[in-house]
Chains A and B, each alone.
Chain A
Amino acid sequence: MNMIAFSQTDNQHLIELQGVTKVYGTGQAAMHALRGIDLHIEEGDFVAVMGPSGSGKSTCMNILGCLDTPTAGAYKFKGIEVGKLTRNQRTRLRRFYLGFVFQGYNLLNRTSALENVELPLIYRGVPSGVRRVRAVQALDRVGLKGWDSHTPGELSGGQQQRVAIARAIVTEPAVLFADEPTGNLDTARSREIMDLLTELNRDQGITIVMVTHEMDMAAYAKRIVRFLDGLVESDEQNGRTA
């Protein structure tokens, strides 16, 4: 993180997209996934990103998550222009500031819940003793106390997603990106996960950006951004607070 120097200014946004476009392919086959997105996200926000398939919401998430870079326009994370960073610099940004939760959980198979949660701390170079304590705390936080030694195969979908959330929050990230976190879960399990995310946002002040199809789930967020054909269709505060 030493190589990333943040320029702190008063009116700075945590996340700032300015005229971001993303084009896949070239010439006739060019596919415009994003056609010019302007978006600000402040610290402590809980944003639900909605939109039909092909609307560009996933592409946008990849860019926000520093996994991809814009074709044109600027993405500033804490004032840093991500598009100008190298692959390794973006990796370090993810390592120290971002957490990810995926639809398919994406846990390491045949690896205990504890080891899964410890993984990002290993890459941060946290000593093993501290790592263990923090991983146990994170599992505790998502309501999986005592499930440390279970492997993903021995856990239900809801539990697996909790482990994934524990893995994402164990590093105390600035932003948690959740890509359809309830997509594979039934309603009851989905509500539990959403309650957990809401709590994390409310109690720990973790900024959350979540992609979802379902209005029910989006309703938990403070703010809903709708994508359509590579543009932001609407961006409004959510009336209901979950």
Chain B
Amino acid sequence: MLWNTVLLALRELKRNVMRSILTILGIVIGVGAVITMVTIGGGATAQVKEQIASMGSNLLMVSPGKRLGPGQSSGNIPFKQADAEAIAREVSSVAAVAPVSSKSIQAVFGNQNWSTQVTGSDNQYFRVTNRSIRSGRQFSDSELRAGAAVCIVGETVRKKLFGGQDPIGEKIRLQKLSCEVIGLLEGKGQSTMGMDQDDIVVIPLSTFQRRISGNQDVAIIQVSVRDGAPTEKAQRDIQLLMRERRHLSASDDDNFNVMDMKEIAKMLTGTTQLLTALLSAVAAVSLLVGGIGIMNIMLVSVTERTREIGIRLAIGALESEVLMQFLVEAVVLSSFGGLIGIALALTASIWLADVLHVPFVFNAGIVIIAFLFSAAVGVIFGYFPAFKAARLDPIEALRHE
């Protein structure tokens, strides 16, 4: 009987193709928008996670200031190089410790210039950040100690300043510092926040402190934990060590923080997920509007087909069968809209993912949910018109012109 009803409904919808299409447009757009938002949002989240993973899950960031959020810290007693050395010496589970300071500076070579991130650190920096030297060499100990005017450049800087020319041995100017390029970093691509990780010039920390920042501060200490060692323990050890070195009494709060990448990842993915949820919610409203559209058209349809309903009732259709017929029509309409919406959304997502450089992550869950939701919209918004049809008086309905 249900199959019959579905067939009847399909027959009815086929008779009014144009109206059927217009009716489901709202649902198509609603379902399409929700799935696209969730898929692209999911892709962005996956990208963030992947990039953080590529930075190494065993990475810890020690920064001065009270814990506020990534990149935020209240001005507070800065670290010194000695702090980094102390961590390397005292905390047994660390593999590498890199003190890092950086500043955005105009780099000049010949008549080319390019604004880039100049980072002062040591050879540990390459280990901690998982980067390797493609050509040339690392800093030598004496260069590091003496604060020599040498630098290692990233791929983007090479392209912008040198074009096709080999940069090794050339001199570039960073503010008043003229330094020799001794190495070229392996390309790493875009970072989580869309920043170009190859847009970088690395110089020895001592050089940075003396010639660029003019003080002995270290902005951040990056620590990589030995493979297999628990990051929680390293985190705690570093915390205790820093509290001691910064002379904090038991009642004082930390005036620095030690974050692991998992926490940073959580914050970043939390942001993208919140955005995704917000956009999806807006898209979901259009689903609701689509449902109201279906209800309107079904009400019009009931009025238009009053005579038909009268015939059916007179001939022997039960109220429940007429109700079922209109309900099934609404559900068939809305689920059909859902299916078209899904197809549209997947096409749009693949295209958008490509344009936005976000991986396309197929989310079967949201596709199923969106489909079920579109069917549910049919039931909910189809019920009232269907009920109205079923309750018609056959005598009145047959007289209807």
Binding site for B on A (CB under 8 A): 62, 65, 67-68, 87-88, 91-92, 94-96, 98, 100, 102, 106-111, 115, 119-120, 122-125, 167
Are B395 and A68 within 8 A (Cβ)? Answer: yes
Distance A62 CA – B314 CA, assembled complex (angstroms):
10
Are B316 and A62 within 8 A (Cβ)? Answer: no
- Contact residue among A91, A111, A167 (Cβ-Cβ distance under 8 Å from B313): A91
Q: Give me 9 other A-B pairs in contact (C-beta within 8 A), A67-B314, A98-B316 excluded.
A: A68-B395, A92-B316, A95-B315, A107-B311, A108-B308, A111-B15, A122-B4, A123-B321, A167-B315
B361 at the interface (CB under 8 A from A): no
B212 at the interface (CB under 8 A from A): no
Binding site for A on B (CB under 8 A): 1, 4, 8, 11, 15, 307-308, 310-321, 394-395, 398
B16's nearest neighbour on chain A, judged by CB, is: A110
Q: Say whether, besides A100-B314, A125-B1, A91 and B395 are in contact (CB < 8 Å).
A: no
Q: Which residues of B contact A124 (CB under 8 A)?
A: 316
Are B8 and A122 within 8 A (Cβ)? Answer: yes
Q: Which residues of A contact B317 (CB under 8 A)?
A: 91, 95, 123
A115's nearest neighbour on chain B, judged by CB, is: B11
Q: Which residues of B contact A167 (CB under 8 A)?
A: 315
Are A94 and B1 within 8 A (Cβ)? Answer: no
Q: Say whether, besides A106-B307, A123-B321, A125-B1, A96 and B315 are in contact (CB < 8 Å).
A: no
Are B398 and A102 within 8 A (Cβ)? Answer: yes
Q: Which residues of A contact B318 (CB under 8 A)?
A: 88, 91-92, 123
A97's nearest neighbour on chain B, judged by CB, is: B316
A116's nearest neighbour on chain B, judged by CB, is: B311
Q: Say whether, besides A106-B307, A108-B308, A100 and B315 are in contact (CB < 8 Å).
A: yes
Distance A107 CA – B312 CA, assembled complex (angstroms):
10
* A103: min CB distance to chain B, Å: 10
* A34: min CB distance to chain B, Å: 14
Q: Which residues of B contact A62 (CB under 8 A)?
A: 395
Are A94 and B314 within 8 A (Cβ)? Answer: yes
Distance A102 CA – B398 CA, assembled complex (angstroms):
9
- Contact residue among B4, B8, B315 (Cβ-Cβ distance under 8 Å from A120): B315
Q: Which residues of B contact A100 (CB under 8 A)?
A: 314-315
* A66: min CB distance to chain B, Å: 9
Are A91 and B319 within 8 A (Cβ)? Answer: yes
Distance A67 CA – B317 CA, assembled complex (angstroms):
12
Q: Which residues of A contact B321 (CB under 8 A)?
A: 123
Distance A109 CA – B314 CA, assembled complex (angstroms):
16
Q: Say whether, besides A108-B311, A122-B8, A125-B1, A88 and B395 are in contact (CB < 8 Å).
A: no
Q: Which residues of A contact B319 (CB under 8 A)?
A: 87-88, 91
Q: Say whether, besides A110-B15, A125-B1, A120 and B395 are in contact (CB < 8 Å).
A: no
Q: Name 8 interchain pairs, CB-CB below 8 A, sorted by A.
A: A65-B314, A94-B314, A110-B15, A111-B15, A123-B315, A123-B321, A124-B316, A167-B315
Q: Which residues of A contact B398 (CB under 8 A)?
A: 102, 106
Distance A236 CA – B167 CA, assembled complex (angstroms):
120
Are A123 and B314 within 8 A (Cβ)? Answer: no
Q: Which residues of B contact A67 (CB under 8 A)?
A: 314, 394-395
Distance A162 CA – B260 CA, assembled complex (angstroms):
84
* B310: min CB distance to chain A, Å: 8
Distance A119 CA – B314 CA, assembled complex (angstroms):
11
Q: Which residues of B contact A88 (CB under 8 A)?
A: 318-320
Distance A91 CA – B309 CA, assembled complex (angstroms):
13
* B224: min CB distance to chain A, Å: 72
* A100: min CB distance to chain B, Å: 5
Q: Which residues of A contact B1 (CB under 8 A)?
A: 125
Distance A95 CA – B320 CA, assembled complex (angstroms):
14
A61's nearest neighbour on chain B, judged by CB, is: B395
Q: Which residues of A contact B314 (CB under 8 A)?
A: 65, 67, 94, 100
Distance A65 CA – B311 CA, assembled complex (angstroms):
13
Distance A172 CA – B17 CA, assembled complex (angstroms):
35
Q: Which residues of A contact B308 (CB under 8 A)?
A: 108-109
Residue among B15, B310, B318, B394 with the most chain A CB within 10 A? B394
Q: Which residues of B contact A92 (CB under 8 A)?
A: 316, 318
The 6 closest A-B pairs by CB, nearest first: A95-B316, A123-B316, A120-B315, A110-B15, A94-B316, A106-B311
* A118: min CB distance to chain B, Å: 10
Distance A94 CA – B394 CA, assembled complex (angstroms):
12
Q: Which residues of B contact A68 (CB under 8 A)?
A: 395
A109's nearest neighbour on chain B, judged by CB, is: B308
* B401: min CB distance to chain A, Å: 9
B5's nearest neighbour on chain A, judged by CB, is: A122
Distance A99 CA – B85 CA, assembled complex (angstroms):
100
B313's nearest neighbour on chain A, judged by CB, is: A91
Distance A68 CA – B311 CA, assembled complex (angstroms):
15
* B397: min CB distance to chain A, Å: 10
* B14: min CB distance to chain A, Å: 9
* B317: min CB distance to chain A, Å: 5
Distance A34 CA – B116 CA, assembled complex (angstroms):
99
Distance A242 CA – B394 CA, assembled complex (angstroms):
33
Q: Which residues of B contact A87 (CB under 8 A)?
A: 319
